[in-house]
Structure 1
Amino acid sequence: MIRSRYTLFLFLILAISSCRSSPGSEADETQAATQPNIVFILADDLGYGDIGPYGQTKILTPNLDRMAAQGRRYTQFYAGSTVCAPSRAALMTGQHTGHTYIRGNGEVPLRATDTSLAKLLQESGYTTGMVGKWGLGLEGTAGVPEKQGWDFFTGHLHHLEGHHQQADSLWRLTNGKSTKVPVPQDSYVNEIFTQDALAFIEDQKEKPFFLYVSYTLPHAELKVQDKYMQPYLTAEGKSVFAPETEQPDGKWYRPQAYPKAAYAAMVTAVDDYVGQIMQKLEQQGLAGNTLVIFASDNGTHLEGGRKMADVTEEFLSSGPLRGVKRDLYEGGIRIPFIAYWRGNVEPGTTSNHVGAFWDILPTFVQLTGGAAPAATDGISFVPDLLGKDKQREHEALYWEFSEGGFKQAVRQGDWKAIRFYKNGQPERTELYNLSADVGEQHELSASNPQKAQELEQLMDQLRTPAENELFKIK
């Protein structure tokens, strides 16, 4: 295994990493969490099995390994969708894709009337900051960050901007308006996002804060700093994952001689950035009153030179799950999800609670003393997070996605159904029992037609027709 063969390189990663365990002060340990700070870190296209806490053995993730060991690891948490924009819309609005306005990719902005998590936390007295990919509203629309509750912003407005790891400019919130500003030549955007996140944390002295860190790693263009590539190269500078197939220069992505090594390095880069944020919280004496959550927006991708064999054979990026980004199989929507809050979340624990992105809004609102809107599809998982009181469970979880042919999915208990459409009409429904078949290898609709029909009816009940023409059933 690469992890064992290249243990020596772990020292390099730990040297790069800024996250070192250090004891907090007594005041830090006993600080009352009446209004906790919240940091939500989102990776882009990171698979369920891409990090150590979920079984990865070839990619080094020491900081996330530590975070899971000191926090709570969720094994049945789901993204809002199987691609970025609707997943983020579910996160921000507390609604699943049967109810959200944004149900797929495309430059469709949040509306002034849409619920916004950031607005709700502002109303509870929080300073709100965001770095990274926004993707929910371009300049001149109601969806720009300054109109959706953000006090601080550095990042991408257009989701296509996030396809490249280097850029000549980024958007910053200046004098209450998102403005495009140049960045140093040859800089890596996720490095800038991290530095701005650290600066935001350092500036928060007076009020509780909510920080949303939306990285563009390990998404799309497989390009990363040499310091992160080093553990995945031999002494001769070749990939340790040979054979590799070079990614040529193309319309969207620049050339990459070693796509597998670059993907692993990008995951390790995310891990290092998480470590830097965790260390900053320690330095500021905030670790005892800050909930930190790490998650991914959907399953792993097949872009920029990445192949299905990389997912299923080299890295097992989806773990035991079937599918990748753009699928409604588990590999497209079930995600790594780790919560850390020293003194509040029990260390080294695992939760099988079934939750989804639309639960984030009611959870954060409850923790911060606000009131969740009635329109939310979410359920607060504070009881499970803190190990107090009985956790309410979902009757069902629902997704729909129109790209590549309309399809729907619903999970109720251990049962999961996926319905595929052709020319706007249902074509077939696949049925799985996840308790016995988490990899969705044994399709059961023929032997359980009544259950399949029940879940089809549930799909119809759990959605309202899409308002935007882009997302209607076709």
Structure 2
Amino acid sequence: MELRYYFLILVFTGLLFSASCKGKDNKKNETVTISNHSQKPNIVFIIADDMGIGDLGCYGQQYIQTPNIDKLASTGMKFTNFYAGSTVCAPSRASLMTGQHTGISYIRGNGEFPLRTKDTIISQILKKRGYTTAMFGKWGLGTETTEGSPEKKGWDYFTGHLHHVDAHFQQPDSLWTIKKGEMAQIATPPNSYANEIFTDKAVGFIENQTKENPFFLYLSFTVPHAELVVPNKYLKLYKNDQGQSIFMPEKAWPSGRHYGKQKYPKAAYAALVTSMDAYIGRVMEVIKSKGFDENTLVVFTSDNGTHIEGGRTIEDVEFFKSSSIYKGVKRDLYEGGIREPFIASWPEKIKAGQTSNHIAAFWDITPTLTELSGVKAPSAKSNGISFVNELFGKGTQKTHKYLYWEFFEGGGKQAVRKNQWKAIRLEVNKNREEPIELYNLAKDPSESKNIADQHPEIVKQMDSIMKIAHTPNPIFSFE
């Protein structure tokens, strides 16, 4: 009897200990119950740098090989009306992180303008919800001594570029990383490529995760942004038996300029896109091998339209149809500068092979991921609308009254999309009342015919939106 009594005491003590430990995160004693985690997906958010909507096979590309991204689209939902936060990287990524469009966001243009302490971003929100957070790649929202440095913005792990200009080079001699809660600069191995390092870090991070704790991985590639330098194993896919580009004639980019030299810019651009596709293939393999695929949302997109830098020309853009049927490239607020590929795959929740025409933008990402983590109420400072209902095909999906962008390079620009209507105002820095261009995207997605004169009432509405959506900014000002 005494032995039996002693055994019962041991069992009871073990149950109490198990209950007290259940769901404890080993970081800062945040409580994350396993039952809650069953409702929280792992999130892998992958973003390209300066890639056009037409650069992927699943969006009509004929020359560039992207089998892994195409497969991602076939297993999930492909959006056709999804927009970047801006037409260059820093404001676009700030919009993604904060859930704000460029009419109210703090960062509205390129340059070393960091996020502020009061700018709460998605990594901080998800960390509070029990997620382990990791970012590998291009940051560009705060260097090591600023309020926007990654370790201060909710990232548990980080290796990558802090300064956006450092991200212009494919073989940097150093990267930044979080060590013991602080930023530290580390040397890269000789002849290594940054995006291969980012991929190795991402794969290693996923391998070290468990099913008991949700994770958020933000993989921010620096391709196909110039410079057009790429590992030979990918470049040779676009060379013939004589070692020449299969896209001849090519105009070489010489040495001695900001970006590294490239003999075959068209072949190199295609190879950069294909290299990223291969890296994504590696990430998808480890997600599956770890058994995470059933509870992991994988998203792929690009930060803005394709570029004409480092040897790439507008003729190259037209050859590949990188902007698809759309007008414009990076730094334009025409569709080619801001309409981006957006793919979401989650086999257990998102029906395979779908194409969505839902109109959304980067500022919708934060409320969407926040809702998936179990919090439906969006931030009062967010312009975003969660599109979880669209992803899952359940309920009524709320829509925007309009989408708004502003950009300060090239004379200053504003743009509005409202249903099928698209309005653009150029030379805003010269005159806030410059004439508005108006396009009907339903009939003219290429924005080839300005019909402002035919619809003065619509122009008046768009002008009003441009005035309402814009708020003063101490760094970027039209005044």
| 1:435 maps to 2:465 | no
| 1:105 maps to 2:117 | no
Matches within 5 A, 1:444-459: 444-459=451-466
2:160 and 2:307 map into 1 onto residues whose CA distance is 21
SS of match in other structure, 2:341: strand
User: Superposition RMSD on alpha carbons, in Å?
Assistant: 1.1
Q: Is the 8 A contact 1:406 1:424 kept in 2?
A: no
- Structure 1 residue 393: deviation in Å? 0.4
| 1:464 maps to 2:439 | no
Matches within 5 A, 1:392-411: 392-411=398-417
> Could you state the TM-score of these two structures normalised by the residue count of structure 1?
0.92
Deviates more, 1:235-244 or 1:416-425: 416-425
2:246 and 2:37 map into 1 onto residues whose CA distance is 48
- What letter is aligned with 2:53? Y
| Other-structure match for 1:473 | 478
- Structure 1 residue 207: deviation in Å? 1.2
- Structure 1 residue 250: deviation in Å? 3.3
Moved over 4 A (4+): none
| 1:257 maps to 2:235 | no
| Other-structure match for 2:202 | 197
Matches within 5 A, 1:349-368: 349-368=354-373
SS of match in other structure, 1:159: coil
| 1:292 maps to 2:279 | no
- What letter is aligned with 2:121? S
- Structure 1 residue 251: deviation in Å? 2.9
| Other-structure match for 2:28 | none
Matches within 5 A, 1:18-57: 33-57=38-62
| Other-structure match for 1:369 | 374
| 1:87 maps to 2:92 | yes
1:203 and 1:320 map into 2 onto residues whose CA distance is 43
1:32 and 1:111 map into 2 onto residues whose CA distance is 30
- Structure 1 residue 32: deviation in Å? 8.2
- Structure 1 residue 249: deviation in Å? 1.2
Higher CA-based Rg = 2
SS of match in other structure, 1:41: strand
Deviates more, 1:387-396 or 1:419-428: 419-428
> What are the ranges of 5 or more consecutive residues in structure 1 without an aligned counterpart?
1-30
| Other-structure match for 2:7 | none
Q: Is the 8 A contact 2:230 2:272 kept in 1?
A: yes
Matches within 5 A, 1:282-361: 282-312=288-318, 314-361=319-366
| Other-structure match for 1:239 | 245
Q: Is the 8 A contact 2:226 2:259 kept in 1?
A: yes
Residues 32 and 109 of structure 1, relative CA distance in 2, 3 Å threshold: closer
- Structure 1 residue 220: deviation in Å? 1.2
> Could you state the TM-score of these two structures normalised by the residue count of structure 2?
0.91
Q: How many residues align?
A: 441
| Other-structure match for 1:274 | 280
Q: Is the 8 A contact 1:32 1:289 kept in 2?
A: no
> What are the ranges of 5 or more consecutive residues in structure 2 without an aligned counterpart?
1-35
- Structure 1 residue 170: deviation in Å? 0.3
1:372 and 1:193 map into 2 onto residues whose CA distance is 31
| Other-structure match for 2:230 | 224
- Structure 1 residue 422: deviation in Å? 4.5
Q: Is the 8 A contact 2:176 2:183 kept in 1?
A: yes
| Other-structure match for 1:8 | none
SS of match in other structure, 2:435: strand
**For 1:232-274, what per-residue CA distance to the aligned partner results, in whole angstroms no more than 9, with x for missing partners?**
0000000000000000113311110000000000000111111
SS of match in other structure, 1:398: strand
2:387 pairs, out of 372, 381, 390, with: 381
SS of match in other structure, 1:292: strand
**For 1:361-393, what per-residue CA distance to the aligned partner results, in whole angstroms no more than 9, with x for missing partners?**
000000001343111100000000011111000
- Structure 1 residue 423: deviation in Å? 2.1
2:257 and 2:237 map into 1 onto residues whose CA distance is 29
2:178 and 2:269 map into 1 onto residues whose CA distance is 31
